[in-house]
Amino acid sequence: MKAAYIEAFGELDDNHIITGELPKPEPREGEVLVRVKAAGVNPVDAAVALGMLKDAIPCSFPLIPGWDAAGVVEQCGHAAKSFAPGDEVYAYARRPELKNGTFAEYISLPEAYLARRPQSLSMEACGGLPLVGLTAWQALFDAGKLKKGQSVLVIGASGGVGSVAIQLAHSVEAHVIGIASEDNHAYMKELGAGATIDYKHPDVPGEVKKALSGDLDLIFDCSRGDVLSKTHTLLKKGGRLVSITNSKPERREDVRFKYVFVEPNAPQLEKLQQLADEGKLTLAVSKTYSLNQAAAALREIQSLHTRGKMVITP
């Protein structure tokens, strides 16, 4: 099969991000072989290629990046009975060892990783949804315990995770305040944000206070900027702070904190599928790349200034 892969950690250029032929995987017991139609590009993929996760997660070469996939079931291994060839599926595909990712024509995954993809979204959008969708779900609902009527501040709200978080919070009738650049305010309001704030505003905490009608129950931090350091004191006593970028943020002792590193969860993918097919969740695909353009895609996602999702279409 054709794949984009690395044989050593290095820079995000064509000398290290190789596009070539690798053996097509065979589905083992309980696994499903998927023909990848779209693979989301995420900042973590650049981090993997640069070697930033090598001490946290076992790796072996050749290493194919990519943790998101949408595609078509081609073959089912022994005892894999939940899907049949021809089924359209999507998955968050991170395995315990970083080796066989989704920047390839095929991937074999445990059937427990897979769910049927939303039919209301394009295959490209489905390929970009699993990681950001599960991250937002696990941050807001598992860690953040967000409920109807509560207020949530989403920092970095126009990115992949943040834009899904706005929609998920809106779907449970929470009040959403989104922080991102002013260029993205109309976009965030379309997704369901009740208020939007420019992260460059000279008084971000003051703007958050103006947007609140009561307590601030939850802050969801999706950004590597300094907004959290300015706003964390606005949380109510016993409020919750969830971050996907900082495992030890500054916070008061009476605030409950959780760092989230997304885990595969097919039942939650099924819930995302239901929301999408009910018209309550969408995903904007800003750009598509071929496997030959994987290095360029990784360089762009590393900038952290993208809007919507970028996907590779093998």
Contacts of 313 (CB under 8 A, 6+ apart): 37, 38, 39, 124, 127, 288, 289, 290
Residue type, 255: V
Residue 220 pairs with which residues in a beta bridge? 154, 242
Q: How long is the chain?
A: 314
Answer yes or no: do 156 and 102 share one domain.
no
289 falls within a domain = yes
Instruction: Name the nearest CA neighbour of 142 among 276, 281, 244.
Output: 244
Write out the residue range of the structural domain in which residue 7 sits: 2-121+283-312
Q: State how many domains the chain has.
A: 2
**What is the CA angle 286-85-285, rounded to 5?**
5
**CATH code assigned at 248:** 3.40.50.720
Residues 165 and 246 in one domain: yes
- Looking at the fold, whether 226 and 169 belong to one and the same domain comes out as yes
Domain assignment present for residue 126? The answer is no
274 inside domain: no
Do residues 63 and 117 share a domain? yes
- Do 203 and 236 belong to one domain? yes
pLDDT of 302: 86
For residue 271, being part of any structural domain is answered with: no
- Same domain for 290 and 220? no
Q: Is residue 276 part of a domain?
A: no
Report if residue 231 sits inside a domain: yes
Question: What is the CATH classification number for the domain harbouring 104?
Answer: 3.90.180.10
Judgement on whether residues 81 and 143 belong to the same structural domain of the protein:
no
Does residue 139 share a domain with residue 251? yes
Residue 75: the pLDDT is 97
The pLDDT score that the predictor gives to residue 48 is 96
User: Can you list the positions of beta strands (E) in 42-187?
Assistant: 68-76, 88-92, 106-110, 114-116, 151-155, 175-180
pTM (predicted TM-score): 0.95
Same domain, 158 and 117: no
Cα–Cα distance measured from residue 231 to residue 216, given in angstroms and rounded to the nearest whole number: 10
- Same domain assignment for residues 194 and 296: no
Query: Does residue 270 sit within a domain?
Result: no
Instruction: Tell me, yes or no, whether 273 lies in a domain.
Output: no
> Which residue among 218, 243, 259 closes a domain?
259
CA distances from 170 to 43, 69, 82 (A): 25, 26, 32
Q: Token pair for residue 16?
A: 């290290």
Per-residue pLDDT for the chain (314 aa), expressed as one digit of tens each?
A: 999 999 999 999 999 999 999 999 999 999 999 999 999 999 999 999 999 999 999 999 999 999 999 999 999 999 999 999 999 999 999 999 999 999 999 999 999 999 999 999 999 999 999 999 999 999 999 999 999 999 999 999 998 899 999 999 999 999 999 999 999 999 999 999 999 999 999 999 999 999 998 999 999 999 988 999 999 999 999 999 999 999 999 999 999 999 999 999 999 999 999 999 999 999 999 899 999 999 999 999 987 666 678 999 99
170 and 83 share a domain? no
Q: Which pLDDT does position 224 carry in this prediction?
A: 84
State whether 148 and 109 are in the same domain: no
